[in-house]
Amino acid sequence: MILLTGATGYVGGRLLNAFERQRVPVRALVRRPAIPSEPSTTEWVTGDVLDDASLRRAMTGVRTAYYLIHSMAAPGQFAERDRDAARRFAAAARESGVERIIYLGALGGGRDLSEHLESRQEVGRILRESGVPVIEFRASIIVGAGSLSYEIVRSLVDKLPVMVTPRWVTTLAQPIAIDDVVEYLQEAAQRAEGGTFEIGGADRVSYGGIMKEYARQKGCRRLLIRVPVLSPGLSGLWLRLMAPRYARVGRALIEGVRNETVVRNPEAQLRFKVRPRGIAEAIRCAREEQPRETPALRGASSAAALLVLLALCLGTAAAWKVEGPRLIPYGSAAVAAWLVWRRDGLAEARLALGMFAVAVAIGHPIGALPALLTAALFFVRSRLAAAFVLPLLLRGWL
């Protein structure tokens, strides 16, 4: 029997799908009960890696246990939580007679590892201390639709025609396609002995190079202006403003980009059958799998948002004693904000919508600068929205 943790996560979910296609029996440990939509070879069990009793129950009869979880998205100190979870998992595996643990960690070398990379490698060490044979894969950036690293790149390139980038964009990585990672993980289940294996794609490329390749395949031009003053910490703050949905985990990842994540030991290519693809092919596959984006607001919620914005904008205009044709910029601005709100939601677009509120509230000419900033922030999300907000910039002359 195979035990899979992280089955509802990105890598674990892909691995589970691969096992189900091959009709391989899997026991998936999840914190919330899962109800399969159709018959499958997966047995869903409820538990938590921080609960010793549920771990022991889940490991009954298990020969191979996959450890594919982390706590970066959880509040508080993720490294301490990961340390505790790994110790409990390792002890339960030893007591239950598990024959092998398969773990996906992270590449990175040097003394100045980021907290994220150090934690990933520390988890591997804790699992090995159990005495159970451990196959640890240390991977570079994983590229695939839904992968956090890829989605951050996609989000920034899609939104920003010009990017002011820190010096870490020249740091080398060895991005690996998600399908290649899954192949490694599947093949590892057939191995008896443990070991630590560095895995990466066929190409070594900088983070800036990944952005440029994505932009090339999308058919757009992106200007990257490198400056020496932006630290990874400031870059994480910028990410929080431009792509809040990825901010909590993304900031930890960005703080690790000062470390090269390239394969130094080629043993994985000698011991496994996987032949990883290059960055161009990895991004092409990710783009082909990218689901069509759905609006954050639909139906009644979308209509209600539009009415609220119209009421706020026209109410503000009334407070400024604006009448007649001079109301047009306010109505147009409400539509602009609705387009952004509908597309991205309040949490994702809070900076743009906050600047919009300032621009509407302040009269001309003082409000010209906030209106200009609003147009710029709307432009990176929707050119149509930016066009609708322009009358607000010109309201003093309309």
Predicted confidence at residue 89, as pLDDT, reads 94
**Residues 53 and 180 reside in one and the same domain:** yes
Predicted confidence at residue 183, as pLDDT, reads 97
The residue written with tokens 């400024």 in the block is: 320
Q: 65: helix, coil or strand? A: strand
Predicted confidence at residue 397, as pLDDT, reads 46
**Residues 228 and 266 reside in one and the same domain:** yes
> Mean pLDDT per segment of 10 residues, for the chain of length 398 residues?
92 94 92 68 89 91 92 65 92 94 89 80 93 95 90 81 76 94 95 90 93 92 75 58 55 66 92 95 94 84 94 90 86 94 85 88 72 85 88 67
Q: What is the pTM of this model?
A: 0.81
**Residues 253 and 320 reside in one and the same domain:** no
**Residues 182 and 281 reside in one and the same domain:** yes
Domain region containing 55: 2-289
Of 224, 256, 289, which residue is a domain's last? 289
Angle at 224 between CA 221 and CA 229, to 5 degrees: 165
Which one, of 162, 148, 169, lies nearest residue 232 by Cα?
A: 169
Predicted confidence at residue 117, as pLDDT, reads 85
226 beta partners? 165
**Residues 303 and 272 reside in one and the same domain:** no
**Residues 156 and 82 reside in one and the same domain:** yes
Predicted confidence at residue 323, as pLDDT, reads 83
Count of CB atoms within 10 A of residue 21's CB? Answer: 9
Q: For the chain, what is the domain count?
A: 2
CA distance 339 to 109: 45
Predicted confidence at residue 74, as pLDDT, reads 52
Q: What is the helix (H) or strand (E) element at residue 29, kind and residue range?
A: strand 26-30
Is residue 116 within 8 A of residue 255, CB to CB? The reply is yes
